Amino acid sequence: MQLYLGIALLLVVTVSITFAYWQERKSSDIINSFKKLVLAFVVVIRDGVKQSVHKTDIVKGDIIHVTMGDRMPADIVILEAQAFKVDNSSITGESEPVSRNGKFTHENPLETKNLAFYFTSVMQGTAIGVVIYTGDNTVMGRVANLASNIEQIKTPLNKELDHVILVSISIAFLMGGIFFALSLLYGFYWLDSVTFLIGLIVAYVPEGLQMTVTICLTLTAQRMAKKNCLVKNLDAVETLGSTSIICTDKTGTLTQNRMTVAHVWMDGVISGVDTTENQTGDSSLDKTSPTWKRLKLHEPGVIKYRETHNKRVEIPFNSTNKYQVFIHEQDDSPDHILQMKGAPERILNLCSMILIKGEEVPLTDEWKEKFESAYRDLGEMGERVLGFCDLILPEAEFPQDYPFDSENQNFPLNKLCFLGLLALIDPPRAAVPDAVEKCRGAGIKIIMVTGDHPITAKAIARRVGIISPNGMTVNEMQEKFGDNWRRKSKHNKFSSIVLHGEEIKQMSSEDLTKVVQSYPEIVFARTSPQQKLLIVEACQAMGAIVAVTGDGVNDSPALSKADIGIAMGISGSEVSKQAADMILMDDNFSSIVTGVEEGRVIFDNLKKVIVYTLTSKGPETLPFLAFILLNLPLSLGTAMILLIDFSTDLMPAISLVHEVAEADIMTRRPRNAATDQLVNPALLQKAYFQIGIFEGMGGMFAFLVVLGESGFWPMSLIGIRPEWDNPSVDVVADCYGQEWNYRQRKNLEQTGQSAYFLAIVFIQWINVLTC
């Protein structure tokens, strides 16, 4: 019997380990597939000569030349730049490429124009710069080191399992010690007492629990993988369900990571444009207006027009002019058309006319006031505003072969016709507002932590529901009421706050924790990687289970520190994916809601598993209790206890993993890790003293029926054990006077033990349904 049990146990353990290994291997393979090739060589100017060297050979002081499409090989100070723009989203979180030149403009290294950083992509233009930092000394390297040096903490599930094991072992040794002492007190031989002690410990320790939990987590991870949530760490499945605060990045997580026209000001009216991903939203834009037909030719998305209309000359955007100019041929006219876009105030100053409903009218002071009002309103929405104008260049002055010169600018750049304003924004993903609302319903607090400008961050936060649309932030209260804002706030409902990274610098860790505790709606803007880490620590200091989402290297320290880090599979950097515990394969914040629900289901189902598993511990103890206190024959052997634990209990327990979610799963508050535990007094009381007692009584009843049908009535069994178990006593008479020798008694005892065993198994089948 022991051999068969050992083989069965080995098979179950092997299957469990195989499942876990397969899941981890699958995660590892997908992670490796995300690695992207980075150009290994860079152009370096040494001794006045351009040469190509491997990026690992770059040293401090080298002068390098980078151009569009390159990835910065080091941190550099820019010496010269031509229409140079870089994508800093992996460091600052800003989705819009930023221009860089040789001018020092800000004390903050991330803000100044004359610095470009390692690993950022060159989106436009060229630049020459001197290397100041390489490798781990770069901003990116320091961020990565910050993430890798963070101390790993136990997941909530690990803590719970440790608590379960501690409680189980404590009960096992307590019961074993009590019965060991009683057996010695009742005169049992010490070796028999040790046997009882071992038997009770085996009975009370849930040997198959760890195996069940592993299989449970693996199956759930497989389900989540089908829903675009790749789990790298199995324990993270339950952690997400316990989350009480989500610190989310903005760019690429809440938003689509693409600049889109959100509002248009033309004909003196601000119109909204459909920015939804599937173009199913509302739009108030009058697309029949002659002004729009002329203005839309300036849109970046009108590629067909640009391809079919020959471009004669271009003046790239630069920080001095703050505009960009194109001159195109027209297919319906021999005249050329000059198109200009750029900073609105700069564009307006170059115009003398304005297009209103297709008619050019003088740009009067009244129209300029309307422009200022519209510009201000669009700016307060957190949108990036561009001004547009054009000018028809008549064929008489500018024939088809006219030699347009962008350097000497032999064409007019003033007295243009102002067309209107386009306000661009990185719009939120379609499913995010609903996901945010579901998180709120589940009692989860969402905090936006981004490197973007506070105005932009606040606008997006309001659009997705992180900040209430009608609520006033503390900042707005201060701006509106000045020093009286505290008194006024008593009469105005507000619960949100937008904090700049510079304000966080002035706070102690205690102050930051108070802010997180005090405001249910929070946006942190212009934050550095170190500040994101401090925000996570502040949330954890108040006892919260914190999830962090992000896609850039700047997010990796916070991803590592969080109880669960969630990286973006499409737009996420390699560093962020390695730091995270879970990867959203579709980059969609709404997938987190799926993960939260699955995590809560896991916790519920594990409680069901534990109740089911612990229920059989009482019935497994009862035979030893009767054996010692009442001197009854042993009604259940140690081998059968192991068979119950590793065979009949394991598969039904695993079946509980597939239980569907309870109806209120996403309307509960997040569980309190300090009080709402897997094993608590109520669970133990139900397992041991409710179901367990009935199950034990059922097993003992079956045992007594078998022996009673054979002649040994229940009352006659009390005190019979010394004779029953003594091999030298060859004759023991039953209630009918029949004589039983030792071998016959043991055969009958084994039959009774089988009945006891089957009774427990049958009742456990009913128990699994009640669980």
β-bridge partners, 738: none
Closest CA to 600 of 188, 252, 94, 224: 224
The dihedral through the CA atoms of 69, 72, 78, 79 has a sign that is: negative
- CA dihedral defined by 410, 416, 418, 419, rounded to 10 degrees? -60
| Residue 81 tokens, joined | 């730049």
Phi and psi for 435 in degrees, rounded to 5?
-65, -40
Cα–Cα distances (Å) from 747 to 2, 633, 719, in that order, read: 18, 12, 19
Tell me if residue 249 is catalytic.
Answer: yes
H helices of 416-492, in order, are 432-441, 454-464, 474-481, 485-489
Q: What kind and span of H or E run contains 6?
A: helix 2-33
Task: Please tell me the chain's helix, strand, coil percentages from 3-state DSSP, rounded to the nearest 5.
Answer: 45, 20, 35
Residue tagged active-site, from 70, 75, 249, 587: 249
Q: From its phi and psi, is residue 647 left (phi > 0), alpha (psi between -120 and 50) or beta?
A: alpha
Phi and psi for 47 in degrees, rounded to 5?
55, 35
Written as one string, the DSSP assignment of 676-736 is: S-SS-HHHHIIIIIIIHHHHHHHHHHHHHHHHHHTT--HHHHTT-HHHHT-TT---EE-TT
The dihedral through the CA atoms of 626, 628, 632, 638 has a sign that is: positive
Q: How far is Cα 432 from Cα 465, in angstroms, rounded to an integer? A: 9
Query: Quick check: 388 and 420 in contact, CB under 8 A?
Result: yes
Cα–Cα distances (Å) from 265 to 76, 385, 462, in that order, read: 40, 10, 22
- CA dihedral defined by 679, 611, 760, 747, rounded to 10 degrees? -30
Query: Quick check: 548 and 203 in contact, CB under 8 A?
Result: no
Query: Which residues, 6 or more positions from 103, have their beta carbon under 8 angstroms from its beta carbon?
Result: 113, 114, 319
Query: Which residues, 6 or more positions from 151, have their beta carbon under 8 angstroms from its beta carbon?
Result: none
β-bridge partners, 271: 264
| Residue 615 tokens, joined | 């229920």
| Residue 171 tokens, joined | 């009960």
| Residue 209 tokens, joined | 């629990």
Q: How far is Cα 672 from Cα 662, in angstroms, rounded to an integer? A: 19
Cα–Cα distances (Å) from 205 to 180, 611, 656, in that order, read: 17, 13, 20
| Residue 470 tokens, joined | 């009608």
Query: Quick check: 221 and 234 in contact, CB under 8 A?
Result: yes
Q: What kind and span of H or E run contains 197?
A: helix 190-204
Q: What kind and span of H or E run contains 201?
A: helix 190-204
| Residue 372 tokens, joined | 């200022």
Q: How far is Cα 767 from Cα 692, in angstroms, rounded to an integer? A: 10
Write the DSSP symbol of residue 514: H
Query: Quick check: 465 and 433 in contact, CB under 8 A?
Result: yes
Closest CA to 65 of 126, 131, 134, 132: 126
Query: Quick check: 130 and 79 in contact, CB under 8 A?
Result: yes
Closest CA to 698 of 630, 762, 754, 615: 762
Write the DSSP symbol of residue 662: P
Residues listed for the chain = 771
Residue positions annotated with a catalytic role: 249
